Amino acid sequence: MTDLGLELVTGEEELDRFVRWVVTQDLPDPSRYLSGGELVLTGMQWRHGPEDSDIFVAALARAKVAALATGDARYGEPPQDVIEACRKYRVPLFRVPEQVAFSSVTERITRLLSTGRAADLTAILDRHRQLVSGTGLGSVLELIERDLDMRCWVMSTTGRVVAGPPSVPPAQTVTAFLSARRLPCVIHSGQRPYSLFAVDEFGTSRAADWMLVFDSDCSDWPEQRRALAGELAAIASLERVRNDDRQSAEGRLAEELIQLIVSDSKPAEIISRLELTGLGVADSYIAVAAAAEDGLRPRELRALLREILDGRTPAAGVVDGEAIALIPADDTVLATIGVALDTLEPGLAGAHLSIGVSGIVDGEGLRGAVEEARYARRMAAGRGKAAALVGHDELATHMMLLSSVPDEVRRMFRLRLMDPLSSYDQDNGADLVHTLQVFLQTNGSWTRSAELLHVHVNTLRYRIARIEELTGRDLSRLEDRVDFFLALALG
């Protein structure tokens, strides 16, 4: 196929392999959807760093694929780490020029395969064409229903129908999926069976996954139909990756916006970045913070929070394992999140999802709103429930007060009070800020503070005296203790 312009990059000694099939894959570990002999086409959406290449190519080698072909659209040419991984695992690597569509490569190869599989090849080629042309999951599901008389829906774990026929699966579908001990599983609604499959059962936490819902009993399926479910799961997984806003300019700007807010940047810089995310047209905003103790990775937590807030165009990011989102002001957001948490709870499997929601603020109050949401989220986590939600109306009075103060005023207040201690700690390897925090948490108890800090009481007294000397404050006075407490709360 020299006219296609494919270029061999490495693997000259392995070119006697037989190509049994051709597939497009962009999952980080596609091995469970491969059975050997495939030419794998990839746009390298799975690659976020050099370390990903070894994982991806190792999975191809385990599956005994025939070769790998990478498109030029994303990187211009195969990255060196991809080339090295292919050499390491003896996987031939081809380069697909940007002007050559994957559908063209697929079509040419399938023509050369056995004519006895012509019907199957036509269906799969049609599926690839539809995906490449951007028509997405809806067209694939229509194809399956039209040719195989199989109705299927792709759904999120909040109950949103991602793609599928106009009729909606029964209400208990999501709960059954989240609580099932094993997948696939079959449920019955009236006299009709429904089969539930995970889109990425082993690569994604159940609560953050998508699911396939077929309106038939999969226990009666032939092997070919089971294989079709696996292929459809791979397509749905690819579609979810493509819909991940982190791949878009708006998504990256949203991540940067959240980082700016948390890092105490100036309000003017935050507002200018806010306008670039598409949220700048709103007059008022709400912040939402979410965290999971176990079971959900940061990227899954972020995706799940966006799913919970679906329809509100959130700008979301992750800071220290906590997902934070900004949305236009909405009086119904607490009720929406509450319903979603009730739905998700059976699938959390010990993850203990906690969510906090701020009050409504304008553009200059975003940092206060984020702090308020994070504080509310910590309150929710303290309730010990599998899924807990705290709104701004449940917060302590001092947090409400802090969130209403302009960002610049709060920043200067904390800077003037805490900067002498932070600078001293940095220059002398001391621990005055932490000492102050523990001293206030124990209500000024010398004995308890010394125990928690693992120091002698005399050492503690020296540290407190040093704090008072550096700041000009007196920790025996209630007013000064309150100032320090508020300054620490702003950190």
Q: What is the CATH number of the domain that holds 183?
A: 3.30.450.40
235: tokens are: 């397509």
The domain of 13 spans 2-111
Place of tokens 């306008």: 275
Last residue of a domain, one of 243, 258, 293: 243
Please indicate, yes or no, whether residues 228 and 283 belong to a single structural domain of this protein: no
User: Distance between CA atoms of 158 and 343, rounded to whole angstroms?
Assistant: 6
Same domain, 300 and 423: no
Asked whether residue 231 falls in the same domain as residue 218, the answer is yes
Per-residue pLDDT of the chain (491 residues; tens, 9 = 90+): 677 788 999 999 888 888 888 899 989 888 888 888 899 999 999 999 999 999 999 999 999 999 999 998 888 899 999 999 999 999 999 999 888 888 888 888 877 764 434 445 455 545 555 555 555 678 788 878 887 788 999 999 988 898 999 888 888 899 999 989 899 999 998 888 999 999 998 888 888 899 999 999 998 888 888 888 888 888 888 888 877 777 677 778 888 888 888 886 776 777 777 777 767 666 788 999 999 887 788 888 888 998 898 766 678 888 888 999 998 888 888 998 999 898 888 877 777 899 999 888 887 778 888 888 888 888 888 777 888 898 887 765 555 556 556 667 777 888 888 899 999 999 999 999 999 999 988 878 888 899 999 999 999 999 999 999 999 999 888 788 888 888 887 76
Residues 386, 271 within the same domain? yes
Domain end residue (candidates: 220, 243, 266): 243
Dist CA 203 CA 165 (whole Å): 27
Is 414 within 8 Å of 433 (Cβ atoms)?
A: no
> How many Cβ atoms sit within 10 Å of the Cβ of residue 408?
13
Does the global pTM surpass 0.85? Answer: no
Q: Which residues contact 217 (CB under 8 A, 6 or more apart)?
A: 186, 193, 195
CA-based nearest residue to 63, from 87, 43, 83, 38: 38
Residues 329 and 430 in one domain: no
250 and 391 in one domain?
A: yes
Is 465 contained in some domain? yes
Q: Are 387 and 157 in contact (CB under 8 A)?
A: no
Q: Is residue 230 part of a domain?
A: yes
CA 153 – CA 155 distance, rounded (Å): 6
Same domain, 485 and 463: yes
CATH number for the domain that contains residue 377: 3.30.70
Report if residue 120 sits inside a domain: no
Do 387 and 251 belong together in one domain? yes
Asked whether residue 343 falls in the same domain as residue 370, the answer is yes
Coil vs helix vs strand at 76: coil
Q: Is residue 349 part of a domain?
A: yes
Instruction: Indicate whether 230 and 263 sit together in one domain.
Output: no
- Does residue 126 fall inside a structural domain? no
Question: Domain check: are 172 and 252 in the same one?
Answer: no
The angle formed by the CA atoms of residues 294, 299 and 300, to the nearest 5 degrees, is 55
What total number of domains does the chain contain? 4
Q: Which helix (H) or strand (E) is 221 found in, with range? A: none
CA 407 and chain centroid, separation: 29
Domain annotation covers residue 224 = yes
CATH number at residue 95: 3.40.1390.20
Shared domain for 283 and 323, answered yes or no, is yes
Read off the CATH number of the domain in which 439 is found. 1.10.10.2840
CB half-sphere exposure, 36, CA atoms < 13 A: 3
Burial 183-201 (b: 16+ CB within 10 A, else e): ebbbbeeeeebbbbbbbbe
How many separate helices (H) and strands (E) can be counted in the chain?
18, 15
Where among 45, 78, 111 does a domain terminate? 111
Whether the bond into 184 is cis, omega within 30 of 0: yes
In-domain check, residue 358: yes
